[in-house]
Each structure stands twice: as C-alpha cells, then as structure tokens.
Amino acid sequence: MVSDFAAVAVFLGLGVGFVLITFLLAKLISPSAPNPIKQSTYECGESPFGPAWIQFNVRFYIFALIFVVFDVETVFLFPWAIAYQSLGLFAFVEMLVFIAILIFGLAYAWRKGVLKWY
Amino acid sequence: MLELDKLVKIIGDGIDAGISALGLGPAWVVLVQLIVAAAVVLIFASLVVLFLVWWERKVSARFQMRLGPMRVGWQGTIQTIADALKLLQKELITPANVDRGIYFWAPVVTFVAALAVYVTIPFGKGLIVRDLNIGILYILSITTFTVIGLLMAGWSSNNKYALLGGFRSAAQVVSYEVPMALAVVGVIMLTQTLSMGEIVAQQQKFYQWYIWRQPLGFLIYLVAATAECNRTPFDLPEADSELVAGFVTEYSGMKFAMFFLAEFLNMFTVAAVATTLFFGGWNGPVLPSWAWFMIKTLLGVFVLMWFRWTYPRLRVDQLMSFAWKFLLPLAFINIVLTGLGIYIFKS
C-alpha cells in the first residue's frame, strides 16, 4: 500500500522535474530581450485600459458551490456503488432518497434562475 | 506473443539484482523500479503527444479536404519535432505585472496533473505501473487538479481576457466533472471494484464489454469528457475567435508548450479511461494486448478529433445549461436504471 503512493509521489516528482528541466533548457537556448512594449499586457493591440483584476462575477461562485455539493454526493455514491450488488433493495431505496433530496436542491436552484448564465 | 510483460519482469528483476548487489535494502529496489517505470511512462507520454499533434493536424486537414503537413519528413511526421524545437527557442516573454510565482508554477501544475494519471492506466497485460485499489477514483480526482492550473494561469496573467478565459474554463471543467463521475459510478455498480486492472480483467470476452450494459453511461461519459478536455464543441474558453487565447494568452515559448502537452495528454487519458471502462481495455484476440489498447484508445482520440470538425461551438450559456439541466439529470437517471436493472437481474 505504501508503495502505491510511493509510485504516485515518484510520478509527481518526475513530472515536476521534467517540466523544470525543460524550462531550464528553454531559458538557456532562447534569447532574452525584454522591452516595455513587449512586456505590456495583451489587449488586442490597444494599450490596456483599467486594472486587470476585474470584479469577480458571482455566477462563478454559485456554479462552484453547486459543484461542491454534487461532488461530495458523488464521493458518497462511490462506496455505495462498489458494495451495491451485495446489498439489498433497502440500500437502493435509501440511496434513491439521498439522490432525490439533492435533486430537489438542483430543481430549486433551477427554478430560482441560478443556473442561468447570461 | 509479443507481450511486453516478460520484458518488464526481466527489467524489474535486473534492477532488483543490481540494487541488492550494491547492498541497499528492498525499499531502494522499489524506488528505483518506480523511477524507471515513471521515466518510461514519461517518454511514452511524450511520444504519444508528438504523434497526436501530427495526427490532429492530418485528421483536421483531411476533414477539410486538404493535405496537412507534407514536407517535413514522410507525410509530415517530423513536423511536430520541428515545432517543438522551434518553441524551445522562443523567447519566454514574461509580462511586466504578472504574479511571478503563480505564473511560473501554473504550467507545472497543469502538466503534472495530466501526467500523474498514468500511474494506473492499464497499457497492456502486466503493463500497469501500480494497480491502485482506488484506480478510477484516483484518476477522476487527479484530472480535477487541472482546474487549479487553469485558474492559476488565468489569475496570474494580469490580463482581463486571460482571467475571464480562466474562470470560464474552470467553470466549464468543473460543471462537466459531475456528470462524468456519475457516468463512471454507473459502471462501478457493475464492476464492484475501482481497480483499473480488475475492470479490464472482467471484460475478457467481447460480450462482456461494459459498453453493452451501459450505453447511456458511455454517451454521457463521452460528452462530458469532450468538455473536460476543452475540445470543440466545448472549446469556447480557448477558441481563437473568442477571448484571444483564453487563459494562455500571456504564455509564450515552452510554457505555452506545457499547456499544449497537457491538453493532448488529457485527450489520450480520457480515451484510455473510456477504453478501459467500456471497451474491454487491452483484451482482444491475436494481437498483443498493448496493440489492442493503443488501437482502441487512438480510435477514441480520433472520435474526439472528429467531433471538432463536425459540430459548431456551443455558447457559454448553452454549455452550462447543457451540463446542469440535461447531462446531470440524465446521469442520475442512468444510475437509477442501472440500480433497478441489477436488482431485477439478480433476483
């Protein structure tokens, strides 16, 4: 079991190492001639207007929130799915109730117009 | 046959013998074996991306009644290497007001997230680095890490368009994550295991492939996975005519190449997972197992490329409505039907 996650750690380490080595290589080979115009923010050829960190629209937050709810539900569904064939009808109905509660939440959000993206 | 598992065993034993001869313990043996395996997978991933970039250009060209790269090497096969060498020499322009730390690490995070999935992809018989017992759940979790990379890139670029592109990309990937996971739950109800190696082992005969028992699940997975890869028809966040280049606007040279690599690796991953879950993995007659795996996965990638040149792009509100109002309820219906089906079939 430990070696399972040692495998993951080795992959992560090697991935990071590969990217860093490639960047180093690129830095050695590529030219470097910075000037203020090259380094200015790209705005389709015009000079940048206003600060770049614009106001965060709330609809992103709402979608992220709904995603978190359904992702946690998915995490609950996985162990149930694995054990499903050895459980009886009771487990199925119980999970149905759980899913139904969350679908009511989705339906409420839908009716409230929260899932609309303008 | 030409099975590679014996070769893998020979190399593993060789490393074992070599490290033991140096007097180091078994932990070091495992470590060196893992490093060698990771290096091999990394080289394989690079070669696959090289091939896929060329193939994408050829396939796109043929769909558009033209030829694609023809000059550099036979049928343009060396084109990708030429492009990679060119990208390597490009100046790494770092805009003046970026958030340097996050700007630097965003491509690293995105690429590592794309690569770390390959720990548990079954390339062939005995050709899986580690058959994690949480296989498919691990894969789903790691692919979500790319969202962090996207947000880092969009935010640090100090560019309104990159920021908006990053937000939209993240919102899209996150919205399609849920139907994809639910489609996988449908398959898991049949397999009773999360381990990728075991899922393949359960599909040895043609009629045992899970595609026959989960056709709806496969369709949901296919659509959600196309959106996960930010491919047309869901490529609004990075379409050329939209927000410039989306979250990669301010990246140049090799840093841009890392995002590009990660995107193609994700395409391959998605096709590989579909092959494993629905099409019997590396099972198949006559040809060696890794050949079957590659054939099935590359066919999956071809379908993704086919989508690109067949369907028009969806608008961002259509994209989001489609995920939350159509795919998600459909995925739940799939789970309920699968549950009912298993229950009726068992009793």
Q: Is the pLDDT of residue B89 over 90?
A: no
* C-beta separation of B280 from B125 below 8 A: no
> pLDDT tens digits for A13-67?
999 999 999 988 888 888 877 777 777 766 665 656 666 667 778 888 888 899 9
What pTM value is reported for the model?
0.91
Q: Domains along chain A?
A: 2-111 (1.20.58.1610)
Distance, CA of A101 to CA of B160 (rounded, Å): 39
Torsion angle of the four alpha carbons B87, B89, B93, B94, in this order, in degrees rounded to the nearest 10: 90
pLDDT digits (tens, 9 = 90+) for B119-135: 999 998 888 888 888 98
Percent of chain B at pLDDT exceeding 70: 96
Q: Chain A within 8 Å of B188 (Cβ-Cβ)?
A: yes
Q: Which of A15, A19, A99 sits opposite B116 (nearest CB)?
A: A15
Q: Is the CB of A19 less than 8 angstroms away from the CB of B111?
A: yes
Q: Over the Cα atoms of chain B, what is R_g?
A: 21
For an interface test with A, give the residue of B29, B89, B112 to mutate (most A CBs within 10 A).
Answer: B112
Q: What is the ipTM of this complex?
A: 0.88
Distance, in Å, from the CA atom of B53 to the CA atom of B191, rounded to the nearest integer, reads 34
Scanning every residue of chain B, which has its alpha carbon at the shortest distance from the alpha carbon of A84?
B189
Closest CA to B115 of B146, B136, B137, B84: B146
Q: Tokens for B119, please give them.
A: 């720990």
Ranges of each domain in chain B: 1-50, 93-346
Rounded Cα gap, residues B321 and A1, in angstroms:
42
Amino acid at B262: A
Tokens of B293: 């795996």
Q: Say which residue the tokens 């079939």 belong to.
A: B345
Q: Per residue in B256-309, pLDDT tens?
A: 888 888 989 999 999 999 999 999 888 888 888 888 999 999 999 999 999 988
Question: Per-residue pLDDT for B243 more than 60?
Answer: no
